[in-house]
Each structure stands twice: as structure tokens, then as C-alpha cells.
Structure 1
Amino acid sequence: MNDSSTTEIRRRGLTLPPQSWLLGAGFLALYLLLDWASYVQPLRHTSITPWNPNTGVVMALLLTRGWRWAPLVAFGIFTGELLTDEGPPPWRVLALTSLYLATVYACAAWALRRRGRERSIETPRTAAWFAGVIAVAGGIAAAGYVGILVSAGQLSTDETWAGIGRYWIGEFNGIIALTPVLLLKVDRAPLWEKIRRHQREFILQALGAVFGVALAFALAAARDVRLFYPLFAPVTWIALRHGVPGAMISVSLIQAALVAALELTPGSIPLFDVQFPLLSLGVTALFLGALATQHDTTLGQMRQQDAALQRSMRFAVAGELASALAHELNQPLTALRSYVRSAELMIEPPAGTDERLAGTLRKAGEQAGRAAAVLQRLREFYQGEAARLEPTDPLMVCARVANALQDRMRRSAVEFQMRGAGLPRVMVDRTQLEIVIHNLLTNSLDAFDALPAGGPRPRCIEVAAQVRGMDVLIRVDDSGPGIGAGLTQRLFEPFVTSKISGMGLGLPLSRSLLRHLGGDLWSEPGRLGGASFVIRLATRPSPQTSL
């Protein structure tokens, strides 16, 4: 490696991608906005408030991006206290508290990431780990923060324990309500489908949220903390129906509404008096939501396993059917070949018959022989017998299959091209490879036949082969309509097809045959704008090859 390449690598290492700059700017904007909005009823000269959702943003960033973002977190805390606090402490004290808090929460995030808890919360065990680490980190952060302020003379010693308790609950409330929401990965299509199918339930739950907001204002006006506890009813309902996402979104909304109600209502009870009920609501919703999410996940896995079992059973039936067909059709196909051969002998000179008849009968005999060989190989494959490996020219096999489909390509106005030269021979069962190539080419022709005549793009199928390491790759591309978005992930599952008359067994069977031979089959974005499949063939037997 020369000096210029080393310099380039270093330059790249020091340059942040645009996404990181956008993420950092978005974090600072959201942190400062929430810090400003939640700065209500603070202890003098401090950031000790009843509710700190901005810390939830801090934990979400550190959990998803890691401890290297701690300096940005410290800068955000410093800027927030400097701009938001009424009469903030000296900048040296602010710098010390900012670095301390960023360090504590970076360590908490590191501990959770080390246990693999940086993803969304989906089980009670994950919820317990998250709540436990956050509780400990919040306590350490509160003790250190208040200790620094007391040492700097910003708080009196009489306010130490009250400050630690209030700061700890405020941090805990903000993190436990907002961080799980920010860790969610929402798939919008299933979400909208779920809303569409359960419109009435969502309307009732929205009314429940409105009731919760109204109850929050009633609590503020009546100055009665007991009115807080009916808020558990709608939150519990939403948590059990929608898991952690619904639970924590509803908790965040109720917390924001309650803080706004108590702040905007003159003569209401202090916010610090509802800190612990808010914390109880958040923890209860988190664990109920985790239980509901785990239940839904388990049910989904059971349905997937049941569907996989059903497909396996159907595939087994298909294997038995193939064995039966091979047994029952082998004799008539053998007889057909005998009859065709007899006809060829009978029309030989000097009979003087049409010369095309002999060629046609010869092709019929070849196809009957191929059908018998295919059925025999399928029977052997489903019975678990070894493949008949032999050194084979892969392009010769492709050319042979394409030649058999030449008449159909001509009728469908499809241009066929084949590229590749100097390829090594591959160790395959020639008949099984023919089955795979035949399936891929007929799939492309079926796709073209489903299109209206005279389309804007020329109809083309291209087979290209190349050597990669110890393997030969054969790519089959077409310029057809391509693969539907809904089939991409399930393309190689049995009985999955977009054809009206298709069984959905061609691609699963082709992949199974190739893996039986030590190769593979997968789909990639097409070079010609349509479907594209890649076949990997081994030039020598590999350990996974069935010999």
C-alpha cells in the first residue's frame, strides 16, 4: 500500500458521512426542544425538573450509535442547561455536570449493548434489564449531579436528598417513556393494514387517550392525586392490544398532557407530587407491553412454523407423487420411444417419404427419452439417492435446453443470447442441471407470454457464464416484467407462485437440486430490467455434495 492510499484511508476515516451530520443535528434539535418544553417547576439554579424526556433522547442515541457519540451528548447537555436554565451555574460547573452525565449514560448504554439490549424491547426479560440498568444509572447520575451542585454551592445541603430523589425519578420517567418509542422500527404497510382492519378499536382507544388528557386537566383543577389512577385503565388496554409501541406512546402522551395541565392550571398541585405515580404508570405499561409483544411474537412464530410444516408436508406429498409418476409413466414412455424408433425405421429409404417426418420423429424420441430421464432423476432425488456426478460443460447443457425450446422462443418472438467461453467443466448430474435450466428458461417464456404483444421493450433472454474462484456462475436474465415485490422474500418457498396455472414447485425444486449437487441458486436485480437468477456450480465435489 502506497502513501497516497494510506492518506486517502485516513481522510475517509476522519470524514463523517452526511447521515451522521444529519443525525447529530437532529439529536441536538430534538434534545433542546424537549429540554425547553419540560423545564417546568425546577429547583432553583438546576435542571432538576419532574420530567426529563430529553434524557430519553440521549439514551436512544447512545443505544443505537454507541459510546462514541458521548461527546455530542455532553455538548447537548451543556448547551441545554446554558440556554434553558434560569440563572444557570457557572460554565465550569455546567461543563463538569455535562461530562459526568454523558459518561454515566454512555456506560449504561454500553452495558445494555453488551447484553444485546440495544434493540426494541420485546420480552419481559429485556424490559427488566432495561428498567434495572436505567434505574441504577439514573440513581448514579442523580447522586453525582446533585453532589457537584452542592459542592459548588448551587444547592444547600438540606436539599441534597430531595434533589437526588426528584432528579432520579425525573430521569427515570423520561427515559422509560421515550427511549422505547425511539428504538422502534415501524413497518408502515402492516401498521396501516392493522389500523384499517380494526378501525373501531382504534377510535375507541383514541377516545380513551382523549379521556386521559381530560382527566389530567381535571386532576390539576381538583388538586386530587387520586384522580391520576384511572389513567391506568386506557394505558393498560392499549398496552395489552398493541404491546410496547402502543404502551409507551400512550404513556408519553399522558405524561406530556399531565405536565402541561399542571403547569397551565393556576393553583394546581406541584408536579413533584405526581412523579411517583407517573413512574408507576411507565413501569407498569412497559412490562405489560413487553408481555403482550412477547405473546404476539410467539403466536406469529407458531403460525410461521405451522405454515412451514404444511409446506413441508405438501412438498413430501409432491415427492411421493413424483415417485409414483416416475414408476407409472416410465413404462409407457419406454414404449413410446420404441414406437417412435420403429416409425423411423419404417420411413427410411427407399420409402421416399417427407424428410421432415424423420426429424420430427427423432425429436419426439429425444423428448420422450428426456422425460423418462427427468422422472427417474426426480425419483432418485426424493428417495435420497446419490447424484450421478460427471464432468460436464455447463454451456453445452444450456445450449441443449435452449435448442429444445427454440420453437417456443420463435413463437413468442424472444431473442436468445448466450455468452461465455473457456469455462472449466463442472461436477454435476447432467439431467438435474437440465431440469434447472429448463425451469428458468420456461419461467421467462411464461412471463413473456403473459405480456401483451408489441410491448415497448424487446423480448430477450440472456445466459452468461463466468468463473469465480473454484465455481462457475451462470446468470439467466430476461427483459420481462420481473419479480413482484410481494414474492421477493418467498420466491423459493414451495407452492408460492404468481402464475394462474402454476404449482410453485419449479424454483424450490431447482434450488434443492443444485444444493444437492453442492451448488446454489439465488435471485439478483436484473441487468435487462426483468428477472435474474444466478446458478453456482462447483468444478470439483464439495463436502456438501451428495455423492
Structure 2
Amino acid sequence: MLALYPLAGLLDPLLVSAVPGWAPWNVRAGIGLALVMVWGPRRLPLLMAAAAAGLALRAVLVPASHPLAASMAIPTLAEPLVFTLPALLLARRLRRDGEGFVLEDVDGVMRLAGLTMAGALGQSLLLLALARVLPGWPLAGWTLTGWDGRAMTADPLTVALQHWVGDVAGVTVTATLALMAPRLAHPLHPARLLRAQTLGQVAGICLSVAVIFPRVVGSRFYPVFIPLVWVAAGSGLPGAVLALAGLEAALSLGIAVCDIQPYQALKLQILMLSLAMTGLLLGAVISERERVRAAAAKGEARLKTLIELAPDGIVILDADGRVEEVNRLVADLTGRTPDILRGRPLADLLRREGGEEWLVAADGHPLPVESSLAMVEETGGVMGVLTIRDISARKRAAAALGQHRAAAEQASRSHLTEELAAALAHELNQPLSAIVSYTGACRRILESESQSKALELMGKAAAQAERAGAIIRHLREFYRTGQVDSAPVPAGDLVAGVARLLADEVANAGARLDLAVEDGLALSIDRVQVEQVLINLVRNALDALADGATADRRILIEMRAAEDGTHADIRVADTGPGIAEEVAGRLFAPFTTTRPTGMGLGLSISRGIVEAHGGRLRAGTGTLGGAAFSFSLPLASRPLAPPAPEVPAPEVPAQEVPDAAA
């Protein structure tokens, strides 16, 4: 576009006004304004160099116009400087997009026109100033000879007005055309140019211009507006600026060919200014309207797409509560097309009763839904936006979850019942077996008439029966609540009681039970449950010693206070072979056992009891060489009376008491 700047100066010799050498509309200044807007002020020297090149080119091609004279050189070189400020202000105030400045609105065109008028006024004031300062200046009132050889008297104000009108008309059209060049590919497409409408518009412009010449009369100007309005209404600002450029070219050709008087040239300039303002403003209005319409259509299409793709059903209601529009999901849920649903009252589509909502399908089947209504204000009233969500799958899932939960609770109760039954069977086996053994021995002794021994065995049987009842009560409470009924228990009494209960079994196994309990130690425990833990661990040790692999059959129960002062550490160790590798990883799992007749529940139950007391049952290898089980229990917070002296395991002859497992 820079190459066009010096070439535009060659149009100046077409002037027929009072000052020879100036064009009727300043095309060059419009190109310069556009270049400054695009490039900024840093390339202004390059633009001034192009102006000087234009003068040199004109001196070579049209020497008769005297381009190097002061009357031509000074305004030509000052022109880029005069229009720089309007160009920079326009560049700051106009919007820009990917293709350049946006002029296709009334605001942009009005700013371009206003700042162009200010720049043209500056150029005209410069000419008037030069007329006063420089002697022999053409605007000083001299009698001159125009390019047609006729004598003309120069009126400075009239000539300045001509320059102002010519600059405004030329700059507004040319600058708009230059700035919109990237957007003119569509209007200038060959297929569009060859349309009947476009050809008719071109013909209308040519005919309306032909009517004006050769006799320039004001009444002949009006037909020119008809094709211009036609083009602007059909193509907006791009079409209007192209039509204005064509009109300027046609009027320039008429001025060059026909015998135009100076006063007639001013009329044509004013006509061109009126055409420029009318065409640009009308084109901007049409372009702005089309842009708003396109944006609205695009927004409407996007909104419709979003509504169609929404995961919920959407119903648009009018002010009377009737359906205006529905999305695809509502149509699918109801089994009706949108055309059938439009105009129906909402009550035909959605029912509410007892806090429940359902959608009425075409077959009358109710579909459970939940809805939300929002009222939106619009021009002339309000509309409702109803969102509907299908909750039938949620209700089915909730029903299935309820059934699953009931089944899980039933299975849990069954499992708990089975576990309680297994625990009772395991824990009651020993006291019941002892009762059977004691009563059998008592019967045999009674047959031999040894009543004192029989009474002793009957007492032991009664104690075992009481213990069985205590076990049942404590296990039932433990499995019902998962909690323990803790109370202060002297550690020495606890261990001594376990030793007494197992004395016969230890003696029959040919083993020795050693007790090592720290003095004054008191535990906060459920005594019956912890007794069961110790009994289970000692029995497991007796089973491990029963294979006879070692002659030293010893079991140690050790109990001492932990370092933290709040717990006691308990350990049960034996001299047996240790824990078998095949069961080491699942030792505490229910029904894990190495005995053919064992149930495998002792360690599982013991672990649950220890954990209920806040401890953890662990297995390993002890100092005696065999297996060792250790755990911790809480100490009692209040002191107890001094514990009873340690009670050794009573010596019971193995032959007098039958094996408890019999």
C-alpha cells in the first residue's frame, strides 16, 4: 500500500478549482492515514520519504503542474504530519480483531469522519497561514490561469473550503477502503460480482453519474443516492465503500473529460462528501445490524445445541404455563414429538402428588422425576425454564440397595449367630468335658464308697458348671455390644485362677506350668474373657507338647508392667516345636488348626477379646525355644489390696482324674 501513496499524487492535475494542482478529493491523505494507523508513528519518516518521491515522480511525468514549487511541496510534505495525530487517535479508539481494525459499526465510522474532518481542517488552516506568510502565494488573491487556460480569481476562504471538503471526502472513503481491504475478499469474489444484482447496481451507478455531466446541476445529483443506498442496504459497509470508491472514480473521470467550471467543481465535491457520509453511515448501520443478527443466530444455535445436549430434560414455558419448546430428552422420555408437546399446559406433562413428581408418557406410564423451575424476565413478559431429571434409575438403585442391605444384615446376623455358636461350642467344650469327667469319676468313687473324694469332685463339677454359665453370659454380651465389662482384677489372682482351672490337664500332659507375675500388678479387664484367652493359649501349648518331641515340657505365663506405666505385658511361652510354617500366615484366621479334632477358633476368639481390651495379640518364638504369644492389657487406675501369694499349680495324680478331652 506504500507504493500507492506517491502514485496517488498524479491525480492532482485533474483539479479545476480556483487553485491549480490539487485533486477534487484527496486520495493520498487517506492512504497515509491508514498507513499510520497500521504502522504507528515509528514509520512516519518512511511515509514522508514516499511523499517526496511522489513529488519527484510528478515532476518527471507532469512537469507542467510545477510540483517542486513551494505552493505544492510544502503542503504535500506537511500532509503526513497533519494527519498523524488523527490516525493515532483512531488507532487507539477503534476495535481490532484478527483481520485488522473494525469499522463496521456507526461508532467507528463517526470517529473516522470526525477525526478526518479535524485533520482536513488543520491542512486548510496551514494553507491559509501560508497565504499570509509567503508572498506570491496562490491563495493571496492573485489572478491565475487554470489548467484550462481561463483566468480565475483566487478567494482564500473559498479555496480553503474546497480543500477541506475534498480532503474529508477523499480521506473518509480511501482510508475506510484501505483499512477494510482484508475484509473485501467476499464482496469482490468473481461469482458475486457477476450476479445480476451486482451488475444492476454497477449499471445504476454509471447511469446516475452520466446524468450529472456535462451540465452539472444540483437537481441531477439526487439519482446518485439510489444505487448507493441499494448497495449499502444489500452489502453493508464493504459494499458501500466499494460503491463510493467507484463514484469517486466516475466523478473524477467526468471532471477530467467535461468542461467543468470552478463553482461546479465545488458542487461535485459537496455532493461527494454527502454521498460519502450517507453511504458510510448507512453501510455501517446495515453491517452492525447483520452482525448483531448473526451473533444472535449463532447464540441461539449454541443455546439450542446446549439444550439438546443437556443431561436433563428442559422445557421452555410461556407466561401462561404452556410448553413453548422441549429438548430431545423430554421428547424421548414422554414418547411424544416436540410438535405434539408445544402449546400444551404443563399439567398435561408433569404431575405432582404427595411430594412425588412424575412425567406422563404417551402410554400413560408414570416416570418418576424431579424438577426445578426458574422464571426469566424477557421483553414483554416472563418465561419459565423447567429442568426435569429422570430418577427412575436412582429409585431402582435405592430399592436394590435396600434389598442388598437387608440381605447383608441377614447374612451378618446369620454369620454372627454362627460365630457365636462356634465360640460357645469351643469355649464350653472344656468346662462341659470337665463336668463329664468329674461326674464320671464321682460315680466310680461312690461305687467304691469313698464319699469324701466324691464330694470334692462334685464341687469341682459344680464350679465348672458355674464357669460355663459365666462364659455364656460374657460371650453373649461381647458379641451383642462388642464391648467388655472391665473391672480391677489382681494379676496374681487371675493367673492363679487359670492355673487351678488347668491343673488337671497340665498334670495329665506330664507338663509343668510356671507363673511369673510382678507384685502388686492390677489389671482393668473382663476377668472371665481374659481367663479364656490364657486358657486357650495354655491349651495350645499343651497340644504342642503332646507330641513328646522334648522331655522338658514347660509352659510359662509371664506378666509385668510395661514401660509406659499404663499397660501390662503378658506372655505365654512353651518348650514345644514352635509354630508350623504352613499356618504361620493365617494363624489368627477362624478355623485354622493343625489338630485333626481341633476347631481352629481359639486364637481367633482370643484375638477379638484382646483387641476389645485395646491390645493386640502377637505370635513369635519365645525364650524357651517354642512358640510364644504376647499381648498387652490396661492397668487398673486405682491401687488394689496386696495380691495373694502366688499359688503353685496343684499336683493332681493323672490316674485319679480322667482326661478332660475324653
User: What TM-score results when the alignment is normalised by the length of structure 1?
Assistant: 0.50
Larger strand proportion, structure 1 or 2? 2
